[in-house]
Amino acid sequence: MRFLIFVCGEGLGHTGRCISLAGELLAAGHDVCIGAYGYSRELIERSGCNASEIPQELKLEGENGSLDLKSSVTSTVKSISVKNIKQVLSLIERNKPDVVISDGYYLGILAARWKKVCTCMIVNQSRMQDFFKDKGPVMRYVGVAVKNFYTWIYNGVDIIFVPDFPSPFTICGSNLAFSEKIMDKVEFSGPLLRKRFCEVVPQENVRRPHVLCSIGGFGYRLEIFRTIIAAARMDGSINYTLIGGPDLDYDLLGNVPENVDVCRFVADPFPYYKSSDAVICTGGHGTLTESLSFGLPVISFPDRCHNEQENNARSVEANGYGMSFSYSVSPEELLKAVRCIISEERFRFKVSVLQDMASSLDGPVYIRKRLEGYSALCSH
């Protein structure tokens, strides 16, 4: 079969999932092309997958740890153009896929439906209207329009995969709300991990205890990087690896203590997962499920005013998989949390259940088999 995967590049969780699924499809002998942009496309190509440039659809903006919704909406609307639509349609025409898969990239679904191609979506949030609550009358109307749009999209796709653990272990459960009309097409696949735990060799020369800090390179997250460094400076016995990204100004981090290793780019974080005792991350669904699937408790810092991340972080804390803090946490509070989470067995026991479940579910294999069985529908 021929598959074309469209990736939303805002946050690398979408990218990691699609690399995982593409690798599984390729290993099974299928043809795969991925449509991506920016840093996301670079990461996909470094993984060895074929990637084609697509226009950026969603543009997130913010500062000081907060998502600026109005600026994000304005930038997103300004980016819409006939040229972009034609570019996506052209990619479908060239690849002639049997199935178009979209992870958060709606223009790909619109183009596929226009071309009468079988469609599949990977979804970890379906309550995007919550972003627009209490933001004034204009944003409220925008929220209604957004809800109507994605509801129409979901009604038209052939199958929807939620890349998460089944209930009651679902991390993104508070972010999901599907109508009864489409529930029969929604399936929980399990996390889409780029690598299985048994396949990963631990990172060399990592001193334990070790905390992996996967915060991402958005400039407005600089505050939490500084807090982590300050906490690390207070206890040299705990070691940290900080993974940033291309958008972070590393000169603003100041003097970094010896027990902190700052990495500008890590294409494969899984050896670090296997060498770590805990993970510090935002509330992004991808990093959370990767960490938990490797049996690591997490300390989550969801972006302010980012409902999806805040809901994910609350779920992690409520289920005993880790802790959640705001960006205003002090270095002293953070250090106390780090000590607690790497020493108390209750966290390790809780996440070990998810580690076993992720292994048995094997999300990439589940989706591949379902799509292979969908070949009859794809030829309708």
Query: Using one digit for the tens of pLDDT, what is the confidence trace for 165-207?
Result: 999 999 999 999 898 889 999 999 999 999 999 999 999 999 9
Positive/negative CA dihedral, 361, 186, 15, 261: negative
Tell me which DSSP letter residue 257 carries.
-
pLDDT at 120 over 50: yes
The residue count of the chain comes to: 380
Q: Which residues contact 290 (CB under 8 A, 6 or more apart)?
A: 16, 191, 193, 194, 269, 270, 273
- In whole numbers, what is the pLDDT of the chain averaged over residues? 88
- Measured CA to CA, the distance from residue 26 to residue 239 in angstroms comes to 37
Q: What is the mean pLDDT of residues 284-294?
A: 94
Question: Which of 71-75, 104-108, 198-202 comes out lowest in average pLDDT?
Answer: 71-75
Q: What is the mean pLDDT of residues 110-117?
A: 92
65 — pLDDT class (breaks 50, 70, 90): very low
Position 300 scores a pLDDT of 97
Burial class (CB in 10 A: 0-12, 13-18, 19+), 262: middle
**β-pairing verdict for 62-63 and 66-67:** antiparallel
Check if the beta carbon of residue 1 is closer than 8 Å to that of residue 118.
no
Q: Give per-residue burial for 316-354: e unless 16+ CB within 10 Å, then b.
A: bbebebbbbbebebebeebbebbeebbeeeebbebbeeb
Query: Using one digit for the tens of pLDDT, what is the confidence trace for 253-282?
Result: 888 999 999 987 787 899 999 999 999 999
- Measured CA to CA, the distance from residue 101 to residue 321 in angstroms comes to 31
Q: How far is CA 63 from CA 60, 223, 245, in A?
A: 10, 10, 16
Scan for tokens 């972080």, then name that residue: 313
Question: Higher-confidence residue: 72 or 356?
Answer: 356
Position 246 scores a pLDDT of 64
CA angle 66, 246, 274 (to 5 degrees): 90
Q: Which residues contact 315 (CB under 8 A, 6 or more apart)?
A: 170, 171, 172, 173, 174
The token duo for 102 is 């979209």
Q: How far is CA 100 from CA 15, 51, 182, 360, in A?
A: 16, 14, 19, 27
Q: What is the mean pLDDT of residues 82-88?
A: 84
Question: Which of 30-34, 141-145, 211-215 comes out lowest in average pLDDT?
Answer: 141-145
Position 73 scores a pLDDT of 54
Q: What pTM did the predictor assign?
A: 0.87
Q: Which residues contact 119 (CB under 8 A, 6 or more apart)?
A: 99, 100, 101, 102, 109, 112, 113, 156, 157, 158
- Measured CA to CA, the distance from residue 73 to residue 292 in angstroms comes to 32
Query: Using one digit for the tens of pLDDT, what is the confidence trace for 155-167?
Result: 999 999 999 999 9
